[in-house]
Amino acid sequence: MDSSVLTAIDVDHLQVSYGSQQVLHGVSLSVAPGEFIAILGSSGCGKTTLLRTIAGFQKASGGAIRLFGRDVVRTPPEKRGMAMMFQSYALWPHMTVLGNVGYGLRLRGVPKTEIRGRVATILTMLNLSGLEDRKVTNLSGGQRQRVALGRALAIEPEILLLDEPLSNLDAKVRIQLRSEIKALQNRLKFTAIHVTHDREEAMTMADRIVVMDAGQIAQIGAPKEVYDSPNSPFVASFMGAENTVSLDIRPSGSGVEVRVGEGSAVSYNGEVPIGPVTAYFRDDVASLVDPDARIDGSIVLPGNITQRTYPGGHYRYVVAIGDRHFTVTDDRYHELDRPVGLRLPLASLHLFSNTQTTGGNHA
Amino acid sequence: MSGEAPLLPARAEPLTLVDPASDVPRRSASSGTRARFWSLGSTGLKIVGLAIFAFLLFGPLANLALWSVAERWYTPFKLPVSYGMRYWEVVFRPTGDAMASLATSISIACLTVLVALTVSVPAGYALARLRLPWRTALMILFLLPQAFPSVAIYINVARVFYSLGLTGTITGVVLVHAAHGLVYSVWIAAAAFAAIDRDLELAARNIGASPLRTFFTVTLPLAAPGIMASAIFVFLESLDEFTGTFFVGVPQVTTLPLLLYNASMGGNYQIASITALILLVPSVLFMIVIERFLKADVLSKVGQ
C-alpha cells in the first residue's frame, strides 16, 4: 500500500480471544478508500470475527483498528460510522420497509418528509420502489436483503461491511445481487469488506482477496494473483487446486529434470523448487493424451479410464493412476478401461517443496 | 348405491389375485366389522371422556350461574324455589360493597402490574443479555415466594409490614401481590428478551443508535408481546390473590376475593356466586389474548 494514501481501514496486529481461546492471531490488513476486499476462508477461520471486531461487536484483546487514521478499538459500534449487512438480514420485523431503511436517518434528526424522499430514492436504486409501507416480513429473501442493503446505504457510510449477506439466497438471486452490490459500490465509492466462504463470489466482487486460515491471513492479493499463484498448499487447495501429485525435481544443465515416481524424466527450464515437491492442480489443467506420449514442458501420467459421464458440452472422465483417481474433461469420446495418459503442463501446476512448509514456488 | 355397486368387485379383485385362497374375502370382511366396532367404541369413549371433562369444568360454573339468579333456594329442593335478578341489582348498586371492592381490586391489580414491570423489564433484560455470574441463583430467587407455604410467609410479611405501617394499606397489598407476580413477569420477560436475535440490536447500534435508543426502538417493541403476556398474568394473579391480601390488607382493604369470602362465610351464596362470576370475566378474556401474544419461540425460552 502506498503510505501517502490515507488508508480507509488499517487493521494492525489485531488479536481477538473468546475466553481463553484465541481466535485471531495478530491479523494485519490495510484497505484503501473505495477498495472492495473479500475475506475468504472456511468456517471457523476467524473471518466473521475479524469483521465483527472491525464493526465493534467484538472486543479486541490486542492490536489496533484505524479508520481513516482514527483508532477505534475502544469506540462503541454506533460511533464508528460504518454500516453492515448481516447474513440473517437482521431487519426489524416490527417496522415497515420505510421504518427499516429510514432508521439511520431518523437517528440523525432528518425531517420526516426528507426521510421519505431519500428512502424512495434508495428504494428506486434497489428496484424496490413503492414498497415503503410493506412489512418486511411480507418480502422475499432477495427483497429483504435489498432492504438490508438500503438500510446500510441510507446513512451514506464510508465503509460497508458485508457478513456473508448472500449465503441465504438461492443461486439466481445471489448472482444478481452480487453484481448489484458491485455496481452500487462503483457508483457510491464506499469501501467494502465482504466476508464469504464462496470462492467465486469473492473472485467476482473483490479488488483484492484475503485468504484466512486458523485466525491468520494466508495470502492477500488480486483475485487472479491468488488464483494463479497461491503462496501455500492451503491457499492452492482452497482456491480449487485440490489434486496432488508427488514429483522429484533435479537440476540438469541449464534447466531441471522432473520425474514422477519411477517414470522417465521430463526436462523443463521454468523456475521451480528443487528436490521432492508436491504439485497441486485443478481438474481443468489436466488433459487426456496417449499413455506413452512425450510432450515438452508437461508430465504424462499413465492410467486407465474408469468412469465416463456426459454433463453437457464435453465428457468427464475419471482416470485411475495407481490407486489414485483424477477427474478430467475431454471433448472426445473414449472407451472405458482404456489406457490413457494424463497430461499435466508444468506451467499450470502449483509446486511446493516437501522439505519446507512455506515459501512454495509457482512453476 | 347403484354407482358404488360396480366398484366392489373391482376392489376385491386385486385381493384375490394376491392370495387366491377362498376364505380371504370373508376374513377381510370380519376384520372390517371388528375394526368398525373398535372405532365406534373409541369414539364412544372419547364422548364419555369429553362429557366428564365438560361436567368437571362447567358443572361448578353452572352451579354458580344458577345460584346467581336464585332468589330463594333451600334444602329439600333440587332447584331454586324462585328466580330473579334481585342480587345482581344489589351487587351492581353504585353504593354497594361489590362495586367498591371491584374498584379496589382493579386498581391494586393495575398498580401491581406497574410495580412488577418496573422490576421485570430491566431484570429480564439483564438475565437474558448480560453474563451474570449468579444467573441461575437469581432466577431461583424470584421463584422462592412460590416455593414455601404461602400462609407461613404472609404471617411473617404481615408482622414486618405492621412494624413499617404498611398493613391495611393499598401499598402493602400491592407489594405482596407484586412479589407473588414477579416470578411470572421476570421469567417471561427474560424469555421474551432472550428470543430476540442479537443481530437485530447490533444492526441498530451499527448504524448509529446508542444502547438506550436501541433498547427502546428495537428490543422493547420486539419483546412487547411477551411482556404484555407477563403483565396479564400478573394482573390476573393479583385479581385472584386471597391469602396475602387477607393477612396484609384486612380490614381496611377489601378486594373482590375477600368480599367473596365474607359473603360465602355469611351464607350469602348469591352475592358470592355473582362475585365469582365477575372475577371470571377478566380471566377468560385475558386468556384468549395471552394465547395470541405468547409465541412458541418465547415459551421455549421460559426458565432457560
Tell me how far apart the alpha carbons of residues A215 and A41 are, in angstroms, rounded to a whole number.
Answer: 10
- Give the lowest-confidence range in A18-22, A87-91, B75-79, B240-244: B75-79
Of residues B265 and A108, the one with the higher pLDDT is: A108
Tell me how far apart the alpha carbons of residues A177 and B174 are, in angstroms, rounded to a whole number.
Answer: 57
Q: Which fold has domain A9-237?
A: Rossmann fold (3.40.50)
Q: What is the DSSP string of B277-298?
A: HHHHHHHHHHHHHHHHH--HHH
* Domain ranges across chain B: 7-68, 90-299
pLDDT score at B295: 67
B198 → chain A, closest CA residue: A90
Tell me which chain A residues have a C-beta less than 8 angstroms from the C-beta of B225. Answer: none
Query: 3-class DSSP state for residue B5?
Result: coil
- Give the lowest-confidence range in A176-190, A279-293, B62-76: B62-76
Length of chain B (residues): 304
What are the residue ranges of CATH 2.40.50.140 in chain A?
241-362
pLDDT score at A2: 45
Of residues A137 and B75, the one with the higher pLDDT is: A137
Query: 3-class DSSP state for residue A186?
Result: helix
- Give the lowest-confidence range in A241-255, A330-344, A346-360, B220-234: A346-360
pLDDT score at A4: 46
The C-alpha of B211 sits at a distance from chain A's nearest C-alpha, in angstroms, of 9
Contacting residues for A169 by C-beta, under 8 A, at least 6 apart: A141, A142, A145, A177
The verdict on pTM exceeding 0.90 is no
Tell me how far apart the alpha carbons of residues B275 and B257 are, in angstroms, rounded to a whole number.
Answer: 8
Rg (CA), chain A: 25
* A247 and A299 Cβ atoms separated by less than 8 Å: yes
Q: What is the pLDDT along chain B (304 residues), one digit of tens a residue?
A: 344 444 444 444 444 444 444 444 455 556 677 788 888 888 888 889 988 888 888 888 888 888 888 877 877 777 787 787 777 777 777 677 777 888 889 999 999 999 999 999 999 998 888 877 787 888 788 777 777 888 888 888 889 998 998 888 889 999 999 988 888 888 889 988 998 999 999 999 999 899 999 999 999 999 988 898 889 889 988 988 888 888 888 788 888 888 888 887 877 788 888 888 888 888 788 877 777 766 666 666 666 6
Q: Any bridge partners for residue A30, and if so which?
A: A10
pLDDT band at A337 (very low <50, low <70, confident <90, very high): confident
Tell me how far apart the alpha carbons of residues B271 and B99 are, in angstroms, rounded to a whole number.
Answer: 12
* A86 and A64 Cβ atoms separated by less than 8 Å: no
Strands A36-40 and A191-196, sheet pairing: parallel
Report ipTM for this prediction.
0.81
Tell me which chain A residues have a C-beta less than 8 angstroms from the C-beta of B200. Answer: 90, 92
Residues of chain A with pLDDT > 90: what percent? Answer: 29
Rg (CA), chain B: 29
Residue type, B207: I
Tell me which chain B residues have a C-beta less than 8 angstroms from the C-beta of A83. Answer: 206-207
Does A77 contact B202 at a Cβ distance shorter than 8 Å? yes
CATH of range A241-362; options 2.40.10.10, 2.40.50.100, 2.40.50.140, 3.20.20.10: 2.40.50.140
Homologous superfamily of B90-299 in CATH?
MetI-like (1.10.3720.10)
pLDDT score at A105: 92
B220 → chain A, closest CA residue: A94
Contacting residues for A289 by C-beta, under 8 A, at least 6 apart: A295, A300, A340, A341, A342, A343
- Say which of B197, B207, B221 has its CB closest to residue A103: B207
What are the residue ranges of CATH 3.40.50.300 in chain A?
9-237
Tell me how far apart the alpha carbons of residues A100 and A345 are, in angstroms, rounded to a whole number.
Answer: 54
